[in-house]
Each structure stands twice: as structure tokens, then as C-alpha cells.
Amino acid sequence: RWVIMPGFHSILLRGPPRDDFLFGVMRLMRLSTHPNVLFENWANRYGSTYRIPLLLGSHAIVVSDMKAVTHIFSKDTYTYVRSPGFRAVIDQVIGRGLLWVEGDIHRRQRRTMNPAFSPTVIKRMTPAFYDATYKLKNVWDKMLDSNAPNAAVEVEMHEWHDNEASVRLALFPGITVKGKLIHHSYVLRLDTIGTTVFGYHFNSLEGKKSAVEESLRIYNTTIPTTLGKLALSLYMFLPWVGKLPTKRKQLNTNLSESAREMLESIMVNQNQDQARDSQILDESIVELFVKEAEDDGVDLQSPEGKEEVLAKMKNLLIAGSDAPGIILVWALIELARHPEIQKRVREEVMATPGAELEWRILQSSCPFLDSVLSETLRLHPTVGETHRMANEDDVLHLKEPILDSSGQLVDCIHIPKGTSIIIPNHYLNSSTSIWGPDGLNFNPERWMGTYLSRSGDEPNDAISERRRLWTFGDGPRICVGKAFVMVQLKIVLAVLLRHFVFELPQGPNTPLDFHLSLVRRPKVKGMKGAAMPFLISRVD
């Protein structure tokens, strides 16, 4: 039995040395192009559970042992909580909604939200998903028609631009023509989450502008300074850093304020029953939140009462509008990098009867499209690591024993209250020890039935681990929008692939980099900001 003390005393576990006197391995983790590979190297060297040095002599324990990880996630809301630093960031950017609360209050808020994400409600959302995707298709059709119907058009999938910004039309190599650009992936998300979750039409694809959209654009295109990048890492450990008057703090405040203004207008419209689509929810999520506050005796006319409901709405808006777009961009990148896979998914979608996949067909058809989606989520999780703090003393039992720093085998670790824990989701999703030698490759085939039966020994632990995705977290805090986004992404991809071919600007081997804001987003190497252009053309 081994006792691990937090901070300087956590010396019994092995782990990488402090590569930076001040920051430990924090900069290495944050700035690494492939953090999952970094964690893989550490796991190969130190075992599935080890200690890493962080800021100013502090440490965290990285847990990638499957039994221990399952235990931490399952006890999440009680024993392992979000760290005070992470909560400080959430508080500043989004406010005290679901992402911020802990314990019983968290459980209650989840209960309130559940009806808004039930299968019945998601089923009713499908027309709205199609609607937003067809609006995007129409925009692209017009771009193709007005220029050269058979030529490829360059569209920016995730940088935030003005509607009037120009795009290059790839008529012939080297010749560019100016056209109109809409920040396609983002408006798609804003429109669908508005209609489906809040019962409100933003109409961003029709060119209607909102302050929150502008704030998100600035937020996501501002390249953090070196100091800003460090401040972002420091937030997690020193909450007071969030109070320093940095540019990022100003951006956080602007984003938060504009989201508040917009959501206040939703509440006003809601009261007046305007701009409301009551077809989807019997009660809109706003009504569910208002009801919850009233049950709690909160005065909704008071600024604090209003702030409470707004914080819950902001949580959904911000948590639900960025990640799906990034995953969509990653799916299109992988399909453009693998034209033969893109062709196969398109053939599958086109062979499915009907122009649209209705709910029943959506559930059971297009297994290869499902596999492409799972494979994208596996390799490109938007949250690479889960940070937690032990809220009370606990014991972690390991599936595989590890060697401690004195060379002894241990299979059980005592975790004292206050210990920082990191679960490397991205590494768990891609580790070659779990997924096999091709764990880092994009191979949707692994999700098809044939791959599993090929191993000849299912079901067993190794296979169920292989099928497990950590992209949405797990346990009581698992992403509330998981089912919503799986249906949304399947529909968006099915419609877009039926009509358009996607290519990267310099072909399948276009070099990529990442843009660092609160989350990482892919970009074309060498381009300014989070630029991720695609060449689109019509399917023959």
C-alpha cells in the first residue's frame, strides 16, 4: 500500500523530470503538436499511472489505467471534482451553470436538462438539423453557380469572417476570383443550437448578425501572445491569474456580456411568444430553467435570479456551439486526406433510399458514415485531458501493477484529498497499447463489425476498451449534448457528402498545424489565425 502526498512529497510514483524550472511539463503539454503521443511516451516509460511536475513545484498524477479511470469518472461529482482553477476559468467565461456546479446541485441541474436531450426530443430536432444544413448547401450552390459551376470553390470552414470577406475561387490553378464568404461551420452550429435547444431562430445563415457571433469571432481569431498562452495555462492552477487585466480577460468579458445580451433578448421573446419554435420541445429549455429557479424560490425579477438562468443558458450555448464545429472540420479534413474513404461514405449515403435519412433509417443505416464519425471523435477529441481534484481521500486500484520509484510493483494507490489528477482522454482514445499498432491512424474500418470479429475472441476486455471513446468524458458529468451532436453531425455529413466533394487546398498532404484558443482547432500550416479553407466542388 502506498501513500502519495500532493506537492513536493509525491515522490513514490515515477514520472518525467521537470523540464522547466517554473512550469514543470506544462508548456510541453500545452504547446505539443501531438499531446497524445507525449502521454504515450510517458506511459511506455513510467507505466499507466505516474506523476508529472507542474507549476512552482506542484504535481499531478496522470491516470491512464482503465480500472482507475473508470473509478474516477464514476465517482466524479462526489470524490473527484473540477479543480478550483478550472472552475475560475469557467466562472469568468461562461458563468456558474452546469459546468461550474458540483455535487447535488449539479445532479439537480442535470435532471432539469435531461428532458431537453431525450431521444424523443432529438428525433423532433432532425428537421431543424436538415434545415440548417440545406441552408448551407444553398449558400454553397449559389457560390458555385455564380462563378463557375464546374470549378472548385474555396470555403473557409472555421475561421470567423465578415459576410463580405473575400474568398478565392479555384477556377484554374493559380487564378483567383473574389467571392463572398460566410463562416460556414460556425453559423451552422449557431443556427441549429438556437432552433433546437432554445427554440429560437438566429438566422445567421441568412446573414443576420448577432453580438455573440462577433465576440466569438474575435475570441477565436485573436492569436494569444506568449504571455497570454502562459496565462491560459496558469489559470488552472492559480485562479487569481484570471483577474489580471490581460487581453484575453477582456475577450472573455466581451464574450460573456454579448452572450448575456443575446440570451436576455431570447427571454423577452420567449415571454412574448415570438421567434419561438415550439414544435421541438413541449417546454423550451429556457422554460425548464425558469421553472427550476421558481421551484428553488429564486426571484426571477432580481438581477441575481436572472443571472442564474442566464448562466445556465450560456453554458449550453458556449459548450454546445464550438466543439461540434471543430469535429465537423476534422471529419472533413480526414475525408479530404483520404479521398477513397470519402468516396466510400458518399456511395453509402447515396445508396440509402430517400433524399433524407429519416429518424428510423438514421438509427440503422450508413454504418460506414457512423464509423467515420467515431474514428474522427477518437482521433480528434476537443478536450484532450480531463483535470480533476480529489475532494476527499480515496484509493485507486489498478488493473495493471506499476513500478514505483524504488522499483517495487504496486497495484493500489492512496490518493489524499487535494491531489490533482489528469486523465489523458486523447491518449486513451489513440494509445497503441489499447487500439493496436494502427492506433494513431485514421481507420474507420476498425468500427465495422468485421474488424471486431476478425480478432476472433470477442467479447473480451481488450475489445470493449477498444470500442470506448473518451471524447465526451464519462460518468455523471458525461457531455450532456452527446446524443444531440451525434445525430447532428451524421445529418450534416450525410447531406454535404451527397452534394459536395471536399479537398484540402494543397491536396491530401496539406500540412496542418493547430490554433490555440481555449480549445485547439486545426489550421493550415503557415496561414494566419485559425484558417482552415477547403476546396469544394459538386459531386458529378
Interface residue list for ligand HEM (CB under 6 A): 98-99, 110, 193, 197, 315-316, 319-320, 323-324, 327, 382-383, 386, 471-473, 477, 479-481, 484-485
Name the DSSP letter for residue 380. Answer: -
Nearer to ligand HEM, 23 or 117 (CB): 117
Nearer to ligand HEM, 197 or 341 (CB): 197
CA quadruple 429, 432, 433, 436: dihedral sign: positive
Q: How far is the CB of 220 from ligand HEM (least distance, A)?
A: 16
Nearer to ligand HEM, 125 or 524 (CB): 125
Q: What are phi and psi of 29, to 5 degrees?
A: -70, -45
Nearer to ligand HEM, 153 or 317 (CB): 317
Nearer to ligand HEM, 85 or 324 (CB): 324
Nearer to ligand HEM, 121 or 501 (CB): 121
Q: How far is the CB of 168 from ligand HEM (least distance, A)?
A: 29
Tell me, rounded to whole angstroms, the distance of Cα 142 from its chain centroid.
31
In angstroms, rounded to a whole number, what is the distance separating the alpha carbons of residues 157 and 169? 15
Write the single-letter amino acid at 502: F
Q: What are phi and psi of 428, to 5 degrees?
A: -60, -30
Q: How far is the CB of 377 from ligand HEM (least distance, A)?
A: 7
Q: How far is the CB of 282 from ligand HEM (least distance, A)?
A: 18
Nearer to ligand HEM, 13 or 390 (CB): 390
Sorted by sequence, the CB contacts under 8 Å of residue 311 that are 6+ apart come out as: 94, 95, 96, 97, 100
In angstroms, rounded to a whole number, what is the distance separating the alpha carbons of residues 107 and 475? 12
Three-class SS of residue 502? strand
Q: How far is the CB of 224 from ligand HEM (least distance, A)?
A: 22
Tell which phi-psi region holds residue 484, choosing left (phi > 0), alpha (psi between -120 and 50) or beta.
alpha
In angstroms, rounded to a whole number, what is the distance separating the alpha carbons of residues 258 and 309? 15
In 3D, which of 154, 170, 173, 150 has the Cα closest to residue 540? 150
* Residue 162: CA count within 13 A, CB half-sphere: 3
In 3D, which of 389, 297, 379 has the Cα closest to residue 338? 379
Q: How far is the CB of 484 from ligand HEM (least distance, A)?
A: 5
Q: How far is the CB of 471 from ligand HEM (least distance, A)?
A: 5
Name the residue whose CB lies closest to ligand HEM.
481
Q: How far is the CB of 368 from ligand HEM (least distance, A)?
A: 19
Cα–Cα distances (Å) from 246 to 188, 249, 251, in that order, read 31, 5, 9
The C-alpha cell at 227 is 504571455
Q: How far is the CB of 141 from ligand HEM (least distance, A)?
A: 27
Nearer to ligand HEM, 111 or 178 (CB): 111
The C-alpha cell at 298 is 429564486
Nearer to ligand HEM, 81 or 170 (CB): 81
